[in-house]
Amino acid sequence: MSSREHIRSLGSRAHASSDDAASDCDSDYSNRMSLDSFFESNGTSRTSADFSMRSASPAPSVFSMTSSMRAQAYKKEYGRDLNNYSDVYRLPADEEELERLDRQYEMFCKIMGKYSPLLHEILRDDGFEVKTVLDLGCGSGSWIMDVARDFPHCSAVAVDLVPMQSTDMPPNCRSEVDDINLGLEHFYGDFNVVHVGFIATGIRSYQSTIDQISHVLRPGGLIDITETPFSLFGPDKNPILFPDGTFAPPWVALWVSFAVKAIQARGGDIDSAELVPGYISSHPAFEDVVIREMWVPIAPFVAGNDPETMFWNDIAATMRDDIKAFMKSGRPLLLGYGLSEEFVDDMQQKACRELDEARIPLYAHVTNVYARKRH
């Protein structure tokens, strides 16, 4: 069994009557404000000075990236630094992209809070065992470093295709280099919490990954996944779809549709993003499943000065900037798919103009699912 909660955006009632809008605004705002915390080779993939994949050192480490290590970890494509390990995940791993991910993280913290409601309970220091947290596809590392700082008695592990390069790495946090698609058997039974956020673009089989997470977790542990389907939605909450050969607005939705094709061509299980709630709810290892849904406006297209409208328009402005930066980051993906620079640049310019004008009400659908592993 699972329960479903709706953390609704302002846009979910944008076309309601004024009385309905005021009522929904009050209830939605109180709901949001009450959410005080939310959101090869063998061995483990510990980060090491020789930068070998899945090395065996368990020691926390922060190191300077030498030129030879950078050459091994990254490759340049269309002016951006991409990881050198996975042919599936083709978004950049450079400073510009990490800064985008930091801003995105801050945005979702405003919407959902930092942690799942169960996280504090599960990571409580009980004096019996060291509590452990795993962040799969950690990106910039913002979430896992927050966990390490907020729960200093815990051991935090960040996994991604490139090492975290933070001079502020907490002593109880370590960065590991690994491709999740190679399997998680080396982590089985090791963690109290497994966190995943927006990794569908680089996963070959999300259902298989969730099954492996069920083995990684200790009994009573927490799985916490946030994903979004690679579609944009209209006011009726139906996805914007394009027949093959279409070159027409909404331009930003068209850009996303080409990104989906490019990701699928590389083996990404992008369609599974919207199936994650079902995968977890139907998995025999999990119980107490909670599904949170959000409809996030991608541009500030709703007029109004009430607190709820102002809150969501602020979120929408951040989402707009995030999508612009994401389209820039996705340029190598589309060019690598075989689209011409002229075509991609024209589509992106039209999409950016469309976002700035904020005339078309479009939404991203974001879902967070968390559950316990059965004892």
Query: pLDDT, tens digit, for every residue of 8-34?
Result: 444 333 333 333 333 333 333 233 322
Q: Tell me, what amino acid is at 71? A: A
Is 90 exceeded by the pLDDT of residue 58?
no
* Structure confidence at residue 244 (pLDDT): 83
Angle subtended at Cα 235 by Cα 229 and Cα 240, rounded to the nearest 5 degrees? 45
* Structure confidence at residue 77 (pLDDT): 66
Alpha-carbon gap, residue 37 to 63, rounded angstroms: 32
* Structure confidence at residue 319 (pLDDT): 98
Is 90 exceeded by the pLDDT of residue 88?
no
Could you report the per-residue pLDDT of 141-175, keeping only the tens digit for each?
A: 999 999 999 999 999 999 998 888 777 899 999 99
In eight-state DSSP terms, residue 114 is S
Alpha-carbon gap, residue 114 to 122, rounded angstroms: 15
Segment (H or E) for 336: helix 331-337
Is 50 exceeded by the pLDDT of residue 292?
yes
- Contact status, residue 228 vs residue 9, Cβ threshold 8 Å: no
* Structure confidence at residue 362 (pLDDT): 97
- Give the phi and the psi of residue 83 in degrees, each rounded to 5: -65, 155
Question: How large a percentage of the chain has pLDDT more than 70?
Answer: 75
- Domain 2-373 CATH (choose: 3.20.20.70, 3.40.50.150, 2.40.50.700, 3.40.50.12780): 3.40.50.150
Residue 170 burial class via C-beta count within 10 angstroms: exposed 0-12, middle 13-18, buried 19 and up: buried
Q: Tell me, what amino acid is at 284? A: P
- Give the phi and the psi of residue 358 in degrees, each rounded to 5: 50, 45
Mean pLDDT taken over the chain: 82
Give the predicted TM-score (pTM) of the model.
0.82
Q: Residues 88-104: what's their mean pLDDT?
A: 80
Which two three-digit tokens encode residue 135?
Answer: 């962040």
Which two three-digit tokens encode residue 27?
Answer: 């209830």
* Structure confidence at residue 299 (pLDDT): 98
* Structure confidence at residue 273 (pLDDT): 87
Between 63-77, 211-225, 263-277, the lowest mean confidence (pLDDT) is in 63-77
Could you report the per-residue pLDDT of 228-263, keeping only the tens digit for each?
A: 988 999 999 999 999 888 899 999 999 999 999 998
* Structure confidence at residue 29 (pLDDT): 26
Q: Residues 289-310: what's their mean pLDDT?
A: 95
Alpha-carbon gap, residue 285 to 211, rounded angstroms: 9
Angle between helices 142-150 and 95-112 (to 10 degrees): 60
Could you report the per-residue pLDDT of 258-267, keeping only the tens digit for each?
A: 999 998 998 8
